[in-house]
Structure 1
Amino acid sequence: MSEMFVTLGTWNWLIFGIILMALELLAPGVFLIWLGLAALVVGLLSFAFAPGWQLQILLFALFSLAAVPLWRRLARANAAPSQDNPFLNRRSAALVGREFTLEKPIIDGNGTVRIDDTVWRVAGPDTPAGSRVRIVQADGAHLTVTAA
């Protein structure tokens, strides 16, 4: 197997990189493109420095391991909220500041409130049913309320 790496030389990395990038077109997921870029970088470095095949594989592994987390960090940093619907996929965050009537009393810190067609669990100070409460914090499906 080592003979295969030695005989193909640096062109194998460039071909491998192009194949991975082409596969990204067939199965998009923004993952194979970074592996393809890592292979292309190793191919270009192989032209410049002519490292052994063991170092080439090590460089490919390092570039691949570095490229994927780097991409995830960049994508997360550049993710802007939707302009026309800033609470898209964050329904509970849109409830903060609104007032509702308690459906079941808050006893020992837990109760429920009906919002449109959904019953939400709420946490807050003990309050009787029918009282108005204001949502002050939303953490997933957990709402924190105070008396309105």
Structure 2
Amino acid sequence: MRWDVTTWAVVALALMAAETLAPGAFMLWMGFAAAAVFLAVLLVPGIPVLAQVAAFVVLSFVSIQIYRRWFRKGARQSDRPLLNRRAEQNIGAVAPLDQAIAGGRGRIKLGDAFWAVEGPDLPAGTPVRVIAVDGMVLKVQEA
């Protein structure tokens, strides 16, 4: 067996196997590109190594674009889109200020966590409504 044929077979199998360790459908498509180069090298002996690598790069790019355009867009939508976006889950919540807003910054307690807030200056104890999120800072207005 020729070394280039064996090498591309191993690369294709390794990329496809790596997909099981780091799922995301990225390496799978590169594995398909390596498999295509494997078949080309197997069927047409004498292809220069530089041409093989160039074909692999081009086929990898094309196959990933095919995945992104036709397969990825059909991904299932989550029934809980805010699951890992904890700050955004608080939009609309009303709570009393734990610490007065002075100079535009204060603090409230929502659930078991304290949150930094920004809004108009208000005394402690004033009920406020969360209207937006900026990173981990909640934007509030008087409720």
Scaled to the shorter chain, the TM-score interval is: 0.7 to 0.9
Cα distance change of structure 1 residues 76 and 133 upon mapping to structure 2, 3 Å threshold: farther
TM-score by length of 1: 0.73
Q: Deviations over 1:20-50 (max 9, x none)?
A: 323444x343444233112012234444797
- In the alignment, the residues of structure 2 paired with residue 76 and residue 54 of structure 1 have an alpha-carbon distance, to the nearest angstrom, of 34
Report the counterpart of residue 30 of structure 2 in structure 1: 35
Q: Deviations over 1:58-106 (max 9, x none)?
A: 221333456568757865883622x2x4421112211111111001111
CA distance change for structure 1 residues 133 and 78 in 2, over 3 Å: closer, same or farther?
same
Q: Give the aligned partner of residue 140 of structure 1.
A: 135
Which residue of structure 2 lines up, in the alignment, with residue 80 of structure 1? 77
Residue correspondence of structure 1 range 46-125 to structure 2 within 5 A: 46=41, 47=43, 51-64=47-60, 75=72, 78=75, 80-81=77-78, 83=79, 85-125=80-120
Structure 1, unmatched stretches of 5+, are 1-6
Q: What is the aligned length?
A: 140
Paired residue type of 2:106: G
**When the two structures are superposed, what TM-score results if normalisation uses the length of structure 2?**
0.75
Quick one: which amino acid aligns to residue 49 of structure 2?
A: W
The percentage of counterpart residues that share the same residue type is 31
Alignment CA distance shift 1:33-1:141 (3 Å): same
Q: Distance in 2 between matches of 1:105 and 1:69?
A: 52
Q: 1:49 to 1:93 in 2, by over 3 A?
A: farther
Aligned Cα root-mean-square deviation (Å): 3.3
Runs of at least 5 residues in structure 2 that lack an aligned partner in the other structure: none
Q: Name the amino acid aligned to 1:60.
A: F
The code of the aligned residue for 1:34 comes to: W
